[in-house]
Amino acid sequence: MPTLNQENVRHLLRRTEIVDRPDRVAHLLTLGTIEAAVDDVMNVPANPPSASFAGIPANSNWRQGVRLSEHWMDQMASVERSFGERMAFFWHGHICSELGKVESALAMQEQVDLFRRRGLGPAAAGSSVAELVKTMAIQVAMLRYLDNDQNYANSPNQNFARELMELFLLGVGNYTEADVEAATAAWTGHNRPRWDINEYVFDEERHDSTPQQFLGREINQGDPREGGNDTINVILGLGPLGVGKIPPGAEKNQGRPSNEVAAEFLSYKLWQEFGEAASRTVPSGVAAAMRRALIENDFAIRPWVAAMLTHDDFYATATKTGLVRQPVEFLVANMIALGLDSERAGQLWLLDQAGQQPLYPPNVSGWKPNGYWVNASAMGARQLIVQGCLWALQGDTWAGDAGYIQFGENNANRLTKIEIQGRWQDGIDPISDEEFVDRVILYTGLRPPASTRDRVLAHLGHPDVAAWMRFDALFLLLSAPEMHIA
């Protein structure tokens, strides 16, 4: 069983709440066990607030999308237990819709809020993969994004049925084309009233009611509205339909129960997001624990996540060093350190340059981990993100000493112009390099390794670095290698 110590607690918080706030570290260390610490991290709000589009024209989807993205990142940065928001972002990258194709920020908000409220959910909610996928499937965002609103009995569209298996639940090669055709038929009739009305309706006249063979099970025989849900029940081994079998015609995992294959596929995705992505595999011990947690709990989400977060493999050195922060995580970490909200930080356009703009995944397979984020252009955009945040932080540079650099809303967490630069005409010296750096570290909560602190001090001590250039120390701390590691 993992040990409850500062190193493990900081790792747990960086992966689940993006940063390891000192007060959260101190609190979790009082709880006695890793299991109790994980329970605390997972004690997320039941009904996080939706974004408000007040003041934005109803036909301005782009501006509404900006508001939705900023609201979501503000929640990640400001909520005490933000793991629910971070889990929602995982689902947003795994079960993708994209605003440009959906053409409705309200529809995207409905999907994002589903992920925020049911993607982990409080303990009483009992959220499950099956519930999440069944609800997502008939929301307008997914109907439009994967064209299931155009899937009719007399004109089938396979997009959603195929991606449901290939990218959402089973993985490539674990179904046949006959399974795609059967699932497509089962999902017919889930439409919108008209092309210009973003509401869900079920049109039984457009539903193909022919019984279908799907993963070796008979589906689409009862309530026409439930034909599509039959496919999810078969894949996950739920309900009266039982467990499907990966058919012999598939490329791999032939003859295996579909719920085992789904459990392994989903666990790999979750591990890549929160565990480690460098090896492109899941350690056998935690893989078995996560698979067992899904199958034994009818694909409930919380036991599955807890099985990962309480396992020894999650706290192994390879795990702690095996994940690059995603651009959204990097920006949120900077917002938290500097006490900025997303509107002041104003970096959505730079997130796109860094490779990850919320609501705009590159395709239905979502964003990839690690190497996906590490290239000259993307890393250059990260430096610009830091620079932009620092410009916002010192917006009142010439308004006087008070508030020259203001970290958050706490008036005690500030550095004045005199402290940083001195005042030569009055013979007032600036504070020492050591005090300056240590106060910045204290106010931001960054807690860099000693080697980073030493390198920053060495920079400030260079003869060519004048007092007015000391602000660069904050840029160096926020751009240091550890800021890019999750």
The per-residue DSSP string of 112-174 comes to HHHHHHHSS--GGG--BHHHHHHHHHTSHHHHHHTTGGG-BTTB---HHHHHIIIIIIS-TTS
According to the model, what pLDDT value does residue 399 have?
52
According to the model, what pLDDT value does residue 32 have?
95
According to the model, what pLDDT value does residue 351 have?
94
Task: Count the Cβ atoms, other than its own, within 10 Å of residue 280.
Answer: 10
**Closest alpha carbon to 96 in 17, 190, 163:** 163
According to the model, what pLDDT value does residue 123 have?
76
Question: How many Å apart are CA 84 and CA 89, to the nearest integer?
Answer: 9
Residues of the chain with pLDDT under 70: 395-404, 410-411
Give the pLDDT confidence of 472-485 residue by residue, as tens digits.
899 999 999 999 99
Measured between alpha carbons, how far apart are the two ends of the chain, in Å? 22
165's tokens = 């298996």
121 contacts 85 by C-beta, under 8 angstroms: no
Specify the amino acid at residue 373.
W
The 8-class DSSP code of residue 366 comes to -
According to the model, what pLDDT value does residue 400 have?
54
**Closest alpha carbon to 333 in 82, 119, 28:** 82
**Closest alpha carbon to 91 in 366, 295, 305, 351:** 366
Dihedral class, residue 334 (left if φ above 0, else alpha if ψ from -120 to 50, else beta): alpha
β-partners of residue 405 are 415
129 contacts 149 by C-beta, under 8 angstroms: no
Dihedral class, residue 174 (left if φ above 0, else alpha if ψ from -120 to 50, else beta): alpha
Dihedral class, residue 468 (left if φ above 0, else alpha if ψ from -120 to 50, else beta): alpha
Question: How many Å apart are CA 105 and CA 360, to the nearest integer?
Answer: 12
Task: Count the Cβ atoms, other than its own, within 10 Å of residue 162.
Answer: 19
461's tokens = 């001590």
344's tokens = 């002041």
Burial of 439 (0-12, 13-18, 19+ CB in 10 A): middle
Instruction: Tell me the helices (H) and strands (E) count for the chain, helix number first.
Output: 24, 6
Question: How many Å apart are CA 189 and CA 293, to the nearest integer?
Answer: 34
Give the pLDDT confidence of 148-175 residue by residue, as tens digits.
999 999 999 999 999 999 999 999 999 9
Question: How many Å apart are CA 283 and CA 281, to the nearest integer?
Answer: 7
**Closest alpha carbon to 44 in 3, 96, 88, 94:** 88
**Closest alpha carbon to 269 in 166, 184, 132, 160:** 166
Give the pLDDT confidence of 187-214 residue by residue, as tens digits.
999 999 988 899 999 999 999 999 999 9
Domain boundaries, the chain: 327-484
Phi, psi of 161 (to 5 degrees): -60, -40
CA 22 to chain centre: 22
Specify the amino acid at residue 178.
A
359 contacts 93 by C-beta, under 8 angstroms: no
305's tokens = 């996540």
Question: How many Å apart are CA 26 and CA 13, to the nearest integer?
Answer: 11
Question: How many Å apart are CA 4 and CA 274, to the nearest integer?
Answer: 19
Q: 211 in helix, strand or coil?
A: coil
Question: How many Å apart are CA 439 and CA 445, to the nearest integer?
Answer: 10
Question: How many Å apart are CA 86 and CA 218, to the nearest integer?
Answer: 38
Q: What is the pTM of this model?
A: 0.95
